[in-house]
Amino acid sequence: MQIDGGRPLRARRWTSPLAESANILSLEEPEALRRLAELQPDGEGPLWLQIRRAIAQPIVEGRWPPGTRVPGEWAVAERFNTSRMTAVKAMQSLVGSGLVERRRKVGTVVAARAQERPVFEIWDTADLVRQRGQTYGYKLLSCAFVGDGVEERALLGVPRSVQLLHMSCLHLADGAPFQFEDRLVNVDAAPGITCQPLSDAAPGLWLLAHVPWTQAQHAITACEADDRVADLLGLRHGAACLLVERRTWNEDAPVTLARLWHPGTQHRLVGRFAPGA
Instruction: Kindly report, residue by residue over 151-207, the tens digit of the pLDDT.
Output: 999 999 999 899 999 999 999 999 999 999 999 999 999 888 889 888 888 888 788
Q: Where in the chain is CATH 3.40.1410.10?
A: 131-263
Percent of the chain with pLDDT over 90: 34
Cβ-contact 177, 205 below 8 angstroms = no
Q: Where in the chain is CATH 1.10.10.10?
A: 17-117
**pLDDT of 27 strictly over 50:** no
Q: What's the CA gap between 99 and 231, in Å, rounded?
A: 35
Pairing of strands 69-70, 136-145: unpaired
Pairing of strands 100-103, 107-110: antiparallel
**pLDDT of 45 strictly over 80:** no
Query: In the CATH scheme, what architecture does the domain 131-263 have?
Result: 3-Layer(aba) Sandwich (3.40)
Query: Residue 257: how many CB atoms within 10 A of its CB?
Result: 21
72, amino acid identity? G
Which residues in 7-26 are b (16+ Cβ under 10 Å) and which e? Answer: eeeeeeeeeeeeeebeebbe
pLDDT tens for residues 77-102?
999 999 999 999 889 888 877 788 88
Pairing of strands 164-173, 136-145: antiparallel
Mean pLDDT of the chain: 81
Mean pLDDT (whole number) for 245-260: 91
Q: What's the CA gap between 40 and 55, in Å, rounded?
A: 9
Polymer length in residues for the chain: 277
What pLDDT sits at residue 274? Answer: 52
Cβ-contact 211, 190 below 8 angstroms = yes
What pLDDT sits at residue 49? Answer: 80
Q: What's the CA gap between 100 and 88, in Å, rounded?
A: 13
**pLDDT of 260 strictly over 90:** yes
Query: Residue 207: how many CB atoms within 10 A of its CB?
Result: 23
> Tell me, which fold does domain 17-117 have in CATH?
Arc Repressor Mutant, subunit A (1.10.10)
